[in-house]
Structure 1
């Protein structure tokens, strides 16, 4: 992001102080700002012809196209009338808008209660030096605003935000191409898809693309689903400002919408942690192993939705690597259908609380459905790493050694992974055979380095770390049982121990 765009992001964020007196939270502020910035950016990019509504004509019952409320209408309105006009535009575009406009304003409502508060916000936005920002930088400006919001707190809106440094590293080793169909089944604010778009822009000369190629790029390259409506509207705004139209649905990947996604050649995702709402099983019928555990459901979707030869990189918590029973069956199925060639053990605390540990699984769908994984390479970026926070920020440089070790092949073909160097018990990158993993009950929770940050001095994990892992596995088993009881129509109070 250039200096002018960074300056506007800082000034936009400072405007949130205006809303604090009106009881508006950080996350509500970004949503509110999305409604207003969309209007302003339609003006700045000469796209106000999109701002139309379809209402019933006074002469007959058929709907006719009418011009919608624009930024200039808000500016020319008196301060006392402005809040009423703003509520009207939210209602009109949400109910009667067209295409992406309606999706951005779907079920929109304002948290602002005082006309003077809205007027300060609108006038503050209008006074910014928009002429200093190139049109192609507007998407990065909005992305910067989302990043600022997520960094305020690791929960709430932050659950939709994966660190950009991690995303950029993943995208760099997966090497998207213009031939790819790229998907994120847990899109959030579309961070992975936007990063893939940046990579495509940097590595291709778009001026040489035919009109048919540009059409495919804009409308048939990026796909995703987002379950939370606020995150979906932020995602739509983000994609639109980066020149990408449509592709991100509002819905549930673990329901029928997920089955309807087109098969992908590249899937990049950080699925939500936890269990399906209500503890029930997914409502789609193509999963071999029904489970209430969201991570395992998303993992199944991802490897089943890959085209033959397609590749994926997915962020998953530790319990997916070690959980027994159905977890072991799903891991076995994954390693049969795909070549699970690399696991990156991430530093603690990148998502949610410090106790949540995560990994990135890199795999490629095989030509057949049996015996695709021969060896799994594990890169330990967790042991003896800093505790990343505002004082010690995560940077792209922290991933440099991993990217070099991963190599230049995004598919992890055996002929190329054979060139990797096993660094032994004292290094961070090691190879483990499929047979060895099977003997461990299909566990992929593989660690060998003594971690000075989490040990008692003899290399043994501290009791708190062991307790957290035990609780994770017990909670997952509990949710599995809840899901089974829900399907059988039984009372889940049977599981309330000691109640």
Structure 2
């Protein structure tokens, strides 16, 4: 978990959102995530450009020549708050929404209905200055930042939504001991806390898996599955996984209890703390489940 100076900087950024009128914690995390993602794109682009220059190899970048002004390192120094706001709201944000028009990545799947909600140029420039001052050099620090943001979400919410305390998640994962060959699913994933902790466990206890090309491919593309019916949580969960270094988690909009869910015998490990306060569409619940328990409540 982040502490000290970094935590203070994040709290100040959160306060900018709050005083600017964005007070729903999930909306804050979403908007914070978008800006972090925009900055990360430029950071990654710069690294790859430097590598290609060093090796003397051609590199086709994320930002075409006509979109160089969409890069964080370019627009942050413009000075004119109105111009920066115009570029981000009408240029950069639509650009990142359509980065993967094939919709294959977990993040891009749920960006289609994302909305840029930062209301004023002055607020946006404060946020850019704050985020630009965050030192997030590795996946661990980015992941810890995201965990801290998620800790600000209320423990209990509407329709059974809540965030399972991290120490409970950690204890459960340590008890079940995920292995490099597992296929892990959280059928009611929320912010993907169980999946994140599972990959943390594997990095700590099964680090050799990353030396094996097949297991590494499995880890990044086929190991983690998460389902939810809230598209905001799907976006947040997907970014949470990617900030923790999982390239392509299988994050999907799905009612895990419905008749349409035909994932029988697909997963080797289920990690979940399902919602217990909401209601069910009784008519749509899987007949197999109704044989066990007939209820309209989760």
Secondary structure in 1 matching 2:225: strand
Q: Are residues 1:225 and 2:227 paired? A: yes
1:23 deviation in Å? 1.5
- Look up the match of 2:70: 69
Give 1:311's aligned residue: none
Shift of 1:73: 4.0
When residues 158 and 42 of structure 1 are mapped into structure 2, their CA distance, relative to the original with a 3 A threshold, is farther
142, 146, 150: which one aligns with 2:146: 142
**C-alpha separation in 1, matches of 2:210 and 2:237:** 28
Structure 2, unpaired ranges of 5+: 50-59
Task: Trace 1:190-269 onto structure 2 (pairs within 5 A).
Answer: 190-206=192-208, 209-244=211-246, 245-255=248-258, 258-260=261-263, 263-269=266-272
| Distance (Å, rounded) in 2 between the aligned partners of 1:9 and 1:142 | 11
Structure with the bigger RCO (C-alpha within 8 Å, sep 6+) is: 2
Greater Rg over alpha carbons, structure: 1
- Residue in structure 2 matched with residue 81 of structure 1 by the alignment: 83
In the TM superposition, residue 91 of structure 1 has moved relative to its aligned partner by 2.7
Counterpart of 1:288 in 2: which secondary structure? Answer: helix
- Preserved CA contact (<8 Å) 1:35 1:105: no
Report the CA distance between 1:276 and its aligned residue.
Answer: 4.3
* Contact 2:185–2:225 (8 Å) recurs in 1: yes
Q: Kindly state the Cα deviation for residue 116 of structure 1 after the two structures are TM-superposed.
A: 0.5
Structure with the larger helix share: 2
SS at match of 1:36: helix
Higher strand proportion: 1
In structure 1, list runs of 5 or more residues that go unmatched.
54-64, 291-325, 331-475, 481-499
Query: TM-score, with normalisation over the residues of structure 2?
Result: 0.79
* 1:223 match: secondary structure: strand
Q: Aligned residue for 1:91?
A: 94
- 1:52·1:67 contact (CA, 8 Å) conserved in 2? yes
TM-superposed deviation, 1:206: 2.9
Equivalent position of 2:52 in the other structure: none
The alpha carbon displacement at 1:50 in A equals 8.1
Is 2:238–2:249's contact at 8 Å kept on the other side of the alignment? yes
Give CA-to-partner distance per residue, 1:258-294, whole Å, 9 cap, x none: 32587111100111224446x44226xx53244xxxx
**Is the 8 Å Cα contact of residues 51 and 67 (structure 1) preserved in structure 2?**
no
Q: Say how many residue pairs are matched.
A: 277
More deviation, 26-35/71-80: 71-80
Answer yes or no: is the 8 Å Cα contact 2:191–2:240 preserved in 1. Answer: yes
For the 8 Å contact 1:51–1:70, the answer to whether it is kept is no
- In structure 2, what is the equivalent of residue 62 of structure 1? none
2:273 to 270, 273, 281: 270
Task: Tell me the CA shift for residue 81 of structure 1.
Answer: 1.9
Distance in 2 between the 1:52 and 1:256 partners? Answer: 43
Deviation at 1:93, TM superposition (A): 2.8
Residue 287 in structure 1 maps to residue 290 in structure 2:
no
Cα deviation, 1:194-249, whole Å, max 9, x if unaligned, reads 11111111111337632111111111111111211111111111111122113111
2:43, 2:159 → 1: CA distance?
27
Over aligned residue pairs, what C-alpha RMSD do you find?
Answer: 3.2
Q: Determine which of 111, 130, 148 is the counterpart of 2:117.
A: 111
